[in-house]
Amino acid sequence: MPDGPAKRVADIQTALRETAGLEGWLFYDFRHSDPLAYRVLLLDPAQHVTRRWYYWVPAEGEPVKIVHRIEPHTLDALPGETVFYVSWQEQGTALRTALSGRHRIAMQYSPMNAVPYVSRVDAGTLDLVRSFGLEPATSADLVQRFEAVWDDAQLASHRMAAESLRRIVDEAFGHIRDTLAARTPLNEYALQQFIVSRLEACGLTTSSAPIVAVNAHSADPHYGPGPQGSSLIRPGDLVLIDLWGKRRDTGSVYADITWTGYVGPSVPAQPRDVFTIVRTARDAAVSFVSTRVESGDFPCGWEVDEVCRRVIRDAGYGDRFLHRTGHSIGEEVHGNGANIDNLETRDGRRLLPRTCFSIEPGIYLAGAFGIRSELDVYLADREALIFGQPVQTEVVPILAL
């Protein structure tokens, strides 16, 4: 069977048979309310869809497509019986019939909205399904299996992207040094645009421009410089650079790293000490993941976050670590696999082989500076591979380069 939607549906049915307690997976969309449905089912996300559709994939047996008569071809790419409706009564009857005899089904639903990436089905549709006597279960782990697991080509694309990003970081610090040596003004925005030009030269594309943040701006984790109002970069400044990108080829995946530097020959004690805490937390999380994966016991995302966060909490900066430890990485820079998170959410999804995520703890001292150190971790069957090598071990003294 050739790769495509039909092959994907067959793989979904295999996954369902391997998942205890699930009798099928119900996909539902209204005007692209569920982008995951299009991605998982390999549907064209650009097609014109204005009416509700359902696609029922049982663990065993023939799938069912429920579509409106004025949009009869919406799910033509998928295998299965097609059932048309016009009225809301016909829609309800078609759905009830398709799900008849079932008890527990997967949907893009997350109890208590614990994993918002997966929480796509509206409460009313859940009410409708429950009115048939069914129990919706989260599809979070199934989504991860089809959205976050990489093939060999994607791993190769990540490796190339990460190597390019590392070179660009060094080039950016060198650009600061050379520009200041020439006594030419350089601000955050100009350095950001230099990095953008290097991304393009390396054949990388990005979802948004990189972060370049100086001094107090680096204490804002998602600061972005603009053409007006950007800070000049001067001797004695701390500079944080967060950049991400992927190859332009279809199916390529992102790499995402963060480095910090100091514009001077030696780094002052406070940023040096804060970086040491951040690095220790980062490395503790990586070591924890590596040990668990080597034993074949893949941890949940929240567990890794706790290991990392505990280091920063014990150092007295727990309230200055403002975000999760890391995020899933895929064709989107923030992917749909398990996040390294027990702060913003409690991500109970288990990390899977052949998936990738960032480890990026930070300490943010409002009005002064912020330190973040980010690397990417790819999980092989029994090994955690670190990308973005060589990883940062100290704040870079830029004028000493």
Tens digit of each residue's pLDDT (9 = 90 or more) over 207-220: 999 999 999 999 99
CA atoms within 13 A on the CB side of 113: 6
177 and 216 in a single domain? The answer is yes
Domain that holds residue 32: 5-147
Give the pLDDT band of residue 36 (cuts 50, 70, 90).
Answer: very high
Q: What is the pLDDT of residue 400?
A: 60
Domain final residue pick, 84, 117, 147: 147
Domain final residue pick, 130, 147, 164: 147
Six token digits for residue 100: 């008849």
195 and 86 in a single domain? The answer is no
Comparing 2-11, 38-47, 98-107, 256-265, the range with the smallest average pLDDT is: 2-11
* Spatial distance between the Cα atoms of 90 and 297, rounded to a whole number of angstroms: 48
41 and 85 in a single domain? The answer is yes
Domain final residue pick, 95, 127, 147: 147
- Tens digits of per-residue pLDDT, 128-156? 999 999 999 999 999 999 999 999 999 99
- Tens digits of per-residue pLDDT, 85-125? 999 999 999 999 999 999 999 999 999 999 999 999 999 99
Give one DSSP letter per residue of 177-221, joined into a string. HHHHHTT---BHHHHHHHHHHHHHHTTEE-SSPPEEEEGGGGGST
Q: What percent of the chain has pLDDT over 90?
A: 98
Q: What is the pLDDT of residue 79?
A: 97
- Tens digits of per-residue pLDDT, 178-193? 999 999 999 999 999 9
Start-to-end CA span in the chain (Å): 55
Six token digits for residue 147: 């959205």
pLDDT at residue 342 tops 80: yes
CATH number, domain at 47? Answer: 3.40.350.10
173 and 130 in a single domain? The answer is no
Helix/strand/coil for 319: helix
Q: What is the pLDDT of residue 76?
A: 97
- Tens digits of per-residue pLDDT, 204-256? 999 999 999 999 999 999 999 999 999 999 999 999 999 999 999 999 999 99
SS (H, E, C) 95-115: HHHHCCCCCEEEECCCHHHCC
Q: Helix 269-294 to helix 301-314 angle, to the nearest 10 degrees?
A: 150
96 and 168 in a single domain? The answer is no
Nearest in space to 9 (alpha carbons), one of 113, 146, 114: 146
CATH number, domain at 362? Answer: 3.90.230.10
297 and 254 in a single domain? The answer is yes
Cis peptide before 390 (omega within 30 of 0): yes
Give the pLDDT band of residue 48 (cuts 50, 70, 90).
Answer: very high
